Amino acid sequence: MLRAAGACVTGPAHLAACEPGQDALSLRGWRGGWIAAVADGLGSRPLSAHGSRLAVQTAQACLREQAAPSFPKSDARALATDLYRRWLSQRPGHELSAQAATTLLLAACNASGKVQTWQIGDGLIVAYIGGQLRVHTPERSGFGNETCALGVDRGWSAWNTAQFSLNQPGDLLALMTDGVADDLSAPSLPGFLRTLHRELQYRSRRQGRRWLTHELLNWATPGHSDDKTLAVIYKE
C-alpha cells in the first residue's frame, strides 16, 4: 500500500518579522497513488509567497487532468510547459512573473508505485529504494543564491526529471525545500529517510502530518531560520 505525509512550517526569520512563509505544499491522493508538490518562493521577490502557493495548486491541477496515470517520457516536457503557461496566465500580468518567482518540486506516483518527478530550482528530491539512496537532484551550480525558478527561467533545460518505482516495503520518496535539505549532509540522508519511514508507517496521515510539523518546528540545527517543507510518499 502507498501512503504519504507532508508538512510546511514558517521559519523563525519570517515569524520574527511577522511575514508570511514563502514555502507551499500540496499533497493529495490520486487514483490509488499520490501527487506531491513543494515550492519555495525566492526570498528577494515581493510576490514570491503568492507565486509558490499558485505553483503547487497549478501543478496539482495539471496532473489531475491527465487521462491516465502513466508517464511516457515524451509527456514530461509537455506537462512542464503546460504548467508554466498556466502559472503565468494566473499572474496579474506576465511582466510581474519575476516578482513571484518560485522553485517547484513535483512528484506523481501511480497506484502501481511508478513515479515521475519534475524539479526547477533549489530543494531536494531523494528516494530510498531497496535499501539504496538515490538522489534525483543535481548538484547546485552557479554563485551564491542563484537558482532556476518559475518566473525566471522559461526553457526546458532549467528542469530536471526522473522516473523510478516504489516496489518494496520501506521504499520511500521525499521532496524537501532547501530549509530542510541544506541541513542534511549526504551521509545523513539514508538514516534520515529510514527514520521517516519508521515513524510514519504506523501513523495515520493526520498523525503523520502532526509528527512532521513538530519535527520541523523543533529542527535540531542551531540558528536555523528558513521555512521548511517536506513531503513523503512511501510503500508500507
C-alpha cell read off for 195:
527514520
pLDDT at 119: 98
Residue type present at position 114: K
Separation in Å, CA 205 to CA 3, 10, 62, 133: 8, 21, 24, 24
Direct distance between the N- and C-terminal alpha carbons of the chain, in angstroms, rounded to an integer: 6
Q: How far apart are CA 199 and CA 99, in angstroms?
A: 39
Distance of CA 224 to the CA centre of its chain: 20
- Specify burial of residue 144 (Cβ count, 10 A radius: 0-12, 13-18, 19+): exposed
The model's pTM is: 0.93
Mean pLDDT for the chain?
Answer: 90
Domains and CATH numbers, the chain: 2-235 (3.60.40.10)
Q: How far apart are CA 115 and CA 131, in angstroms?
A: 17
Q: Give pLDDT < 70 ranges for the chain.
A: 67-74, 91-96, 141-146
Task: Give the tens place of pLDDT for each residue, 110-123.
Answer: 999 999 999 999 99
Cβ proximity of 119 and 159 under 8 Å: yes
pLDDT at 47: 86
Q: Three-state SS for 16?
A: helix
Task: Give the tens place of pLDDT for each residue, 209-219.
Answer: 999 999 999 99
